[in-house]
Amino acid sequence: MCGVIGIVHTDETLVNQSIYDGLTILQHRGQDAAGIVTCHNGRFFQRKDNGLVKDVFRTRHMRELIGSMGIGHVRYPTAGTSSSAEAQPFYVNAPYGIAMGHNGNLTNAQQLRKEIYTQDLRHLNTNSDSEVLLNVFAHELMQQHKLKPEPADIFAAIRRVHERVRGGYATVGMIADIGVFAFRDPYGLRPLIVGERENAQGKKDYIVASESVALDGLGFKVVRDVAPGEAVVMTQDGELLFEQCHDNPQYAPCIFEFVYFARPDSMIDGISVYKARLRMGRKLGEKILREWPDNDIDVVIPIPDTSRTSALQLAETLGKPYREGFIKNRYIGRTFIMPGQQQRKKSVRQKLNPVGLEFEGKNVLLVDDSIVRGTTSGEIVQMARDAGANKVYFASAAPPVRYPYVYGIDMPAASELIANGRTVDEIAAFIGADCLIYQDLDDLVDAVREGNKVIPCFDTSCFSGEYVTGDITPEYLAELERSRHGNQPVGDEPVGMTNVGE
């Protein structure tokens, strides 16, 4: 999972700082690398590297990022490499000069790489599927045969991109001397939202970003979410243009955004993430009351930070005290998105410290947003016992994660998922909990959909094994598993896994 942002501003002295601030707000979406590209008088200025936003950009870099428009990207590490060469945005000089950043994963990246080389006659320099996407777009834009492209040409190129590309993607790009463009996959799997604000000159500045919190933090007013299959162009001349670029878009946003990735103060597709998590907690509490009415829970304790909202409502539904039993070291990254299993495990005790008085002699219900690999959950259960808990129960605001996710989240190998092939009792034993309670899938979907009933369905593939794009076969998943464990021949690209989440 990554974060993207693009801004067109009338005051070129403010663009670099605005993008920097926006990326800092979106830092939760990626902590591995960051990058900014701006444009001034037809020239691109770029800075990108591995690290947090605050570490990648220094004053000397910001001074060089001049221009009235720009785009930015934050990346989290996945099965691809963490090389700074694959930090985004990427750039191609033909046609026109195009820069692009991408959040998601292309499921037909391997096929596209061959087409780009043999048919489009273009060169790829990294293993990133984001570079694949950029070159597909660049090729299709070149086919318009214009000395200077117009918005209609950009929309036409994006229509052809949708025809060639499969997977989940929210993309922000910039064309020299033209403007910023963005587009979203035909299922709306990855989020993308547009905003505007009136400046001192009475003109409009525009922004597009992964989450509404970036708009809030920079003082922009929400215009609307980019619809599935839709594209937006924000020109240097102050135009804001939308066009549907797919013949059959189907709304099916990724439900894991609401479970874990998005900030609670974000609005995604008209749904408050905070309210959705409250409803998750209420439904989970109702399930506990229904199936375990005589429970002996003394206290409800969240595993910070993502589960706090659900845990608070769960405690209220149960009529039990809610306590902050773990204190978080805010200088440790999100363990779910750390690159290696050993690093995840090591960081848990550095990240969380129990408040012994809240555990000693009590039957505690720990609440987390989800359980993916189980490594973190097992460590936390043991920490609760070491702090003196009498019994440790565990509740997940999401259903069991049993299947690989292939649209841009680092959980591609079934063998890495604790719930794959195990019963709930077996999972409880694995993490050392006295009892384990999962959210039901129907309840999760209802909790999210209640915020916007216009959305007909959500992608729940990591819970249900049903992939909305319809192109994920057992053979594809088997190849992912093989490439995940490094068994591919030398020089062979992991199919669909070229830096997932880019």
Catalytically annotated residues: 2
DSSP letter for 287, please.
H
User: What type of residue is 131?
Assistant: E
CA angle 211, 445, 309 (to 5 degrees): 60
Query: If phi over 0 gives left and psi between -120 and 50 gives alpha, with beta otherwise, what is residue 97?
Result: left
**368 annotated as a binding-site residue:** yes
Residue 433 corresponds to which amino acid? A
Q: 298: closest CA among 322, 326, 325, 280?
A: 322
Strands 230-235 and 33-40, bridge-based pairing: unpaired
Sign of the CA dihedral with 98 first, then 101, 105, and 110 last: positive
CB–CB of 108/167 below 8 Å?
yes
Residue 8's closest CA among 241, 237, 201, 222? 237
Q: Which amino acid is at 341?
A: Q
211-232 burial by CB neighbour count: b if 16+ within 10 A, else e? bbbbbbbbebeebebbbbbbbb
Give the count of beta carbons closer than 10 Å to the beta carbon of residue 423: 11
Cα–Cα separations (whole angstroms), residue 208 to 3, 143, 234, 239, 357: 11, 26, 9, 14, 46
Q: Annotated binding site, which residues?
A: 306, 368-369
